[in-house]
Amino acid sequence: MTPAMSKILARYDNLHLHPQIEHLREDGTVVFVDGTCVVADAVVYCTGYTYSYPFLDTDGKVTVDDNRVGPLFNHVFPPALAPSLSFVGIPAMVVVPLFNEVQARWVAQVLSGRRALPSPEEMARAAEEYNRGREAAGVAKRRTHDILDLEYCDDYGERNCGFPRLEAWKKELMWSSYLTMCDNLETFRDDYHDSDLMVSNHDDGKPPAKWKKVCVVGAGMAGLAAARELRREGHAVTVLEQASDVGGQWLYDPRTDDPLGASPAPVRVHSSMYASLRLISPREAMGFTDFPFLPVDGAGGGGRDPRRFPGHREVLLYLKDFCDAFGLMDAVRLSLNTRVLRVAMAPPQCRAPAVAGGERKWVVRSVRVGERDDTGVQEEVFDAVVVATGHYSQPSVPTIKGMEAWRRRQLHSHSYRLPEPFRDEVVVMVGCGDSGKDIALDLISVAKEVHLTAKSTEEATTPAMSKLLAKYANLHLRPRVEHLCEDGTVVFVDGSRVVADTVMYCTGYVYSFPFLDTDGVVTVDDNRVGPLFEHVFPPALAPSLSFVGVPRKVPAPWFFEAQGKWVAQVLSGRRTLPPVEEMLRAVDEHYRARAAAGVPVKYTHELGGIEPQKYIEFGEKYCGFPRYEDWKREMIVSTISRRDDDDMETFRDRVDDDSDHVRLCLKSWHCSSPARHQASLAVSAADGHPPPPRLAQTAKAIAADAL
């Protein structure tokens, strides 16, 4: 008998508490097991319910025995019939509709291929172990699906589908309500004894108390991914972008700036995109998790590029579709044509006094592009800043003997746009990476000669390169440049030479944050941005300062999406970071491990080829984000193999080398993606950001084509 029941019995004379009923008599007498009796007019059975599926025929694979539905893996999937049959809503004593939402999301992700289930044998074994564990704890069989464990529910959602954990204040609110109910059954719904935590987070239609005012610098792929995740977490987001539109590198700009990009002034033309650029990864491997990069040919496309490896304009249009689908143009303060001049820590008087020492804030100074005086300069204070300016804007220019005295044309690939200006020229290209080889192919048809240089001609002579050299008489592979002569001669380290009209440096890019003032806490040394915990948080300034988009050779935008989600959850308090000392120690250990593996400092942030497992597991580890699917990585590796070992000119348009596994997953992707695409638009509309009619019509047409 609880205190609440005692109170009610004392208050109401006509309310009585009896033991179990022994039997009922025809004259209306109800006899209880203690021998007492009462003549009753009615008997009401408040004895709960049983699970019942009279319509379901599974040939005995799913049964209901003593109110246990089974066997079910995690109360959802019958092992022998998964994933095509599933149950949502079976567990009792859980937070609804939250737990139902978790289960539905898991089912949806499994059906779409984003999540994989264990083998039927493993699922059956897990279900049996769960049942045995419950029985050992004294739980009756009929209570198999009664949970009453908030931590179990939290772990369930996080583990199975990356669902956020229930906020601590909501858990406290629920337990407080339960305890109040145990005290007074009549008034517990109206008696509030909420703690300060609950009061400050009470749902009054405003963002939760832990929302932050966040500035995202950059509206490229990384910045947009971060902005979407921050908005989803309830933060107030401002995105500052120096260009006239979203897209970052994918916003093609026919203009060029300093030919070498070596000017001490910040680069004014951000994009390094050239006109002929196409993706080197298939569209199926790119795209946001809930907004697939689908071909839209014939679906109101307006000149869209439906190829698996589309050109750069298609990526830009996809990013703009993403903004439209999730209301980013309206939901965040997107300030275009705005150059960030300085980001610095705010003085103490700008900080909140509630936290010991005050929470760190940041002053962001910006100016509208084109303003020539200080009247257009704006300053604003933010709780946090996310730097998402990319890493393909500030050229890395080597130092070569004689280059300052060389009077002919020199430029970095950052300033390359079209092949025509190089017609009938002899072009020496310093660097044999992706951009060097791609631009060389672009120039072959117009240039008199193209000399592609490599640090190691032996390593550069892949089967695909050998084919090209045999096919084009005007293409040559050379060793490194030794020096440049004033008369236009380029001398190579093997003593060979050529008189050139142009030297183009395809030597990559360096990280550059000229606007960022951290009092030396964050530096760029030999192209290592540091110290950064997991390439995101500078320990001494975390979480108020973070970087999204620093790692290279990772699947984009998937990896940026995971980083953005982690940042958003840390800022809201949903996730916590390790202590500063622990983060610094982890960074130092990472540096030492890379050095021991022979990785130069300048490649600190290149993860793909060296640490693929690190990026595959990153999101799952830090923010409950789904792992990068193995079949997508296999597809990327296969694509690179076709490019290097077969044919650099045609590798994008040949898919005959895809494995059976990849083909099967591709088929599933193309079948399930339209539904996910439409579902994303529906969710966005429910959030108050309906997509424009053009996008909605396109989604419907894509779905119809898939059917």
pLDDT per residue over 531-564, tens digit each?
999 999 999 999 999 999 999 989 889 999 999 9
- The whole model's pTM is what? 0.70
pLDDT band of residue 7 (cuts 50, 70, 90) is: confident
Taking each helix axis from N to C end, the angle separating 558-572 and 612-623, rounded to the nearest 10 degrees, works out to 30
Give the Å distances, CA to CA, from 277 to 274, 442, 472, 659, 670: 6, 9, 21, 27, 25
The mean pLDDT of 35-47, rounded to a whole number, is: 95
Lowest mean pLDDT among 266-275, 442-451, 629-638: 266-275
Which pLDDT does position 369 carry in this prediction?
82
Two structure tokens written together for 114? 């984003």
Query: Which one-letter DSSP state was computed for residue 381?
Result: E
Q: For the chain, give the mean pLDDT.
A: 86
Count of positions (residues) in the chain = 707
Amino acid at the residue 196: D
> Which domains can be identified in the chain, with CATH numbers?
3-39 (no CATH), 213-393+511-700 (3.50.50.60), 399-507 (3.50.50.60)
For residues 259-292, b (16+ Cβ closer than 10 Å) or e, as one string? bbbeeeebbebbbbbbeebebebbbbbbbbbbbb
Containing 323, the helix (H) or strand (E) segment is helix 312-325
Strands in 17-140 per DSSP E:
21-24, 29-32, 37-39, 63-65, 68-70
CA Rg value for the chain: 31
Q: Residue 457 corresponds to which amino acid? A: T
Range from 499-513, 648-662, 673-687 carrying the lowest mean pLDDT: 673-687
The whole-number average pLDDT for the span 328-340 is 81
Give exposure, 509-530, as e/b (b: 16+ Cβ within 10 Å).
bbbbbebbbbeeebeeeebbbb
φ and ψ of 580, to 5 deg: -55, -45
- Omega before 531 cis (within 30°)? yes
Residue 484: which pLDDT band, with cuts at 50, 70 and 90?
very high
Amino acid at site 92:
A
pLDDT at site 264: 54
Contact criterion met (CB below 8 Å) for 551 and 535: yes
For position 704, what pLDDT does the model report?
Answer: 45
* Dist. CA 317–CA 297, nearest whole Å: 13
Per-residue pLDDT, 263 = 59
Compute the distance between CA of residue 229 and CA of residue 663 in angstroms, rounded to an integer.
31
How many angstroms separate the CA atoms of 662 and 668, rounded? Answer: 10
Tens digit of each residue's pLDDT (9 = 90 or more) over 165-208: 777 667 666 666 666 666 666 766 665 554 444 444 444 444 44
The DSSP bridge pattern shows strands 523-525 and 362-368 to be: unpaired
Backbone CA torsion sign across 101, 103, 104, 110 = positive
Q: pLDDT tens, 310-319?
A: 999 999 999 9
The confidence band for 707, taking pLDDT boundaries of 50, 70 and 90, is very low
Q: Do 365 and 396 contact (CB within 8 A), yes or no?
A: no
